[in-house]
Structure 1
């Protein structure tokens, strides 16, 4: 509304002929819209907008990474980082950390790493990744509350929830999906904070008076944590997929939920659920066409399920679930994350089975990897014979190393590799430091 008022004031200052031309152009644009609606509804930001990089948690990047990529800056957060970071349409870095005092949510400028803004939020923030829309507006949850901010960090709205909200996802233009550790599901209008579907509670033991109930078991995917990981969302088919532990069950399962409109109003309902050997651990991941859901089992298998029916397509023994996450490309390549120091492995989904493309036993991976549209993959590895870490690019065709970029003073592991719309790369170590890589020419031109 403020932007619209500014445009009207500007139009009144223009010469009449120019203003008339402007009105005509706007009319033509509106006429080209399918429903005549001026679409200011929020959508996932271009870039690395949420946990898993996108709605499907596929950790896949389309932008080209510059050939002259180099380290631009680093910044400590003051505490451990356990959740993946985001990169917005403007390449702003969103990161959460577990700090004893001061800020624990940061939005950092891509040019220098300076804080655009930071916040001190309540418990639960450390397991969450920011969701960012196309206007650089973040959304995130803390114990008992989900919040929306504007691009400057001011609170736009707050929504009370039961439990700790997990990293949010967009379910439709202007609609945010919120799932919580206690099994609550909400669809919220991103502008007005109104429900767009009736609330759903998947478990009867949800406790509105104790937001932290079961939170301690979410890291290990224990039975008191109803939903331990963010959903994978398919906006085209209006459905999402959860790692869910039913109350009283002996193991968690993959549960598919629909949120399509019935009689003109959205309704969230179960489509199917599928039990996997030993139960599910980590988030679900969705193929680009929405036809396959991937999940890790506690027995160390990757299980591929038919997204429409929940029937098992194939399973693969990964030798452990490690970070229980993976990168999936539109053409069916899968790069699973193993335990710390595991070899880098590339698989290919063949529909009814999976095959190993190659394996690099000499690379000790310590991060979730990111597949790219340039037929490469980026990951972080432990340097041979050392504790230090390096950002590494390999070819997906043969696994050969293409580039290695040092992460100064980095040890431990990183939470993933995020890629911006400009091809910049950001990673964060678990000990609490953010590393930002940019084109050398861009850095020198600042």
Structure 2
């Protein structure tokens, strides 16, 4: 890029920033202020699964000249997906022996904006960000709201480890914990917006109790995965293991200010693995069974619409597009499989046995899937067509090993990937 081109681009960015500031000022001046101060999710990838539904889908346009901008080690394994806040900065938690484990990296060069040391259980979490860049995240026994610089705004004590939180409505955060506590909190103050729901009577003063069972979906972990929400109906869907039960269930609840209420439970496949995912229209909940099948449930009743053998639950997560295209995250090295929900049945769109996947992918509105693949021990970020599974482009992840925890896509189409060997990779067009 020439010097003149850089100056023109910088001028355009300054104009866009100035216009955005003016629009924000006008919007604030013309409102009553009630909605402006209530925290909500920004565009982009501000939470686990990219949105409240855990859909792992984006409307953002990924640039044609996408390239690796930076990568860096974080000092420990990454086991939960990354988030990207409304400013485009990248955040995640690592399993570090000492020092910081929650990091927020500047998108331009990967430098730390700030970092925090969180306690046990925090590496299970993806941070939740509001529209002004404030993160919400938990550790064993406590859920925190920080400001944009990492200082504590408020905290709420919990039974167990709070899992990746979701915005349930403007100014409301829904939190589920590993010991079966479900909370609806005021995002500004940390006060309860509804009485807590305790789904099991065996809460333990030791917030770490049962934590080892969470990664395998065992009975000592009441809720083993983050919730999925349908914001239109105020429903939340959980992977829940009742006390004394033989297997875990899909559990649906409704929430409003003042009440969190049971809706239905569904037994599937000898137990549930991984988090639920909600379709874009809110009518279907997808969940993996221990029997290696993907299940589609009626979101209003829990009735099974169909099930499909995917050869094992794998990473027990998937990407769901608004048109019903489904891409399950198979086990490490599993072939790429693309499905489509046809209402009462599912069809196989494509299967690539020559591709070895390495984690959860993300679909885009352009009809593509971004996923990490592997060739031997090497990993790469690969774009596929969801119409036929054809490979469109491949970008290496230098030094990456193991698997990816997911593909986060910002509002501008930048991509962040975390890998299990503790590396973060950031892709975009040149700044």
TM bin, normalised by shorter chain, reads over 0.9
2:10 is matched with which residue?
Answer: none
Residue number among 212, 222, 225 corresponding to 1:226 in the alignment: 222
Once the two structures are superposed, residues 31-81 of structure 1 have per-residue CA deviations (whole angstroms, 9 ceiling, x without a partner) of xx7xx7343211112111111111000100110000000000011110000
1:425 is matched with which residue?
Answer: 415
Cα drift, residue 199 of structure 1 = 0.9
2:367 is matched with which residue?
Answer: 375
Say how many residue pairs are matched. Answer: 408
SS in 1 for 2:416: strand
Does residue 405 (structure 1) correspond to residue 402 (structure 2)? The answer is no
1:268 is matched with which residue?
Answer: 260
Matches within 5 A, 1:277-316: 277-316=269-308
Does residue 199 (structure 1) correspond to residue 196 (structure 2)? The answer is yes
Is contact 2:331-2:359 (8 Å) kept? no
SS in 2 for 1:374: coil
Matches within 5 A, 1:73-112: 73-112=70-109
Structure 2: how far apart are the matches of 1:332 and 1:397?
12
SS in 2 for 1:217: helix
C-alpha RMSD of matched pairs (Å): 1.4
Structure 2: how far apart are the matches of 1:358 and 1:106?
38
Structure 2: how far apart are the matches of 1:45 and 1:367?
25
> Any gaps of 5 or more consecutive residues in structure 1?
1-21
1:58 is matched with which residue?
Answer: 55
Once the two structures are superposed, residues 15-44 of structure 1 have per-residue CA deviations (whole angstroms, 9 ceiling, x without a partner) of xxxxxxx9x9679822xx7xx734321111
Structure 2: how far apart are the matches of 1:141 and 1:408?
31
TM-score (ref. length: structure 1): 0.90
> Any gaps of 5 or more consecutive residues in structure 2?
1-22
Matches within 5 A, 1:311-322: 311-322=303-314
Does residue 256 (structure 1) correspond to residue 252 (structure 2)? The answer is yes
Once the two structures are superposed, residues 403-433 of structure 1 have per-residue CA deviations (whole angstroms, 9 ceiling, x without a partner) of 1000001111110111011100010110100
TM-score (ref. length: structure 2): 0.93
Does residue 173 (structure 1) correspond to residue 174 (structure 2)? The answer is no
Is contact 2:225-2:239 (8 Å) kept? yes
Structure 2: how far apart are the matches of 1:254 and 1:309?
11
Cα drift, residue 340 of structure 1 = 0.5
Instruction: State which structure, 1 or 2, has the greater radius of gyration over its C-alpha atoms.
Output: 1
Structure 2: how far apart are the matches of 1:189 and 1:202?
21
2:36 is matched with which residue?
Answer: 39
Once the two structures are superposed, residues 224-264 of structure 1 have per-residue CA deviations (whole angstroms, 9 ceiling, x without a partner) of 0000000001111011000000000000000000013xxxx
Does residue 243 (structure 1) correspond to residue 239 (structure 2)? The answer is yes
Residue number among 151, 154, 160 corresponding to 2:151 in the alignment: 154
Task: Decide whether aligned partners of structure 1 residues 247 and 25 sit closer, same or farther in structure 2, where only a CA change above 3 A counts.
Answer: closer
* Segments of 4+ moved more than 4 angstroms: 24-28
SS in 1 for 2:381: strand
Structure 1: how far apart are the matches of 2:201 and 2:35?
41
Structure 2: how far apart are the matches of 1:75 and 1:27?
39
1:29 is matched with which residue?
Answer: 30
Structure 2: how far apart are the matches of 1:139 and 1:27?
24
1:352 is matched with which residue?
Answer: 344
Task: Decide whether aligned partners of structure 1 residues 278 and 110 sit closer, same or farther in structure 2, where only a CA change above 3 A counts.
Answer: same
Cα drift, residue 154 of structure 1 = 0.8
1:12 is matched with which residue?
Answer: none
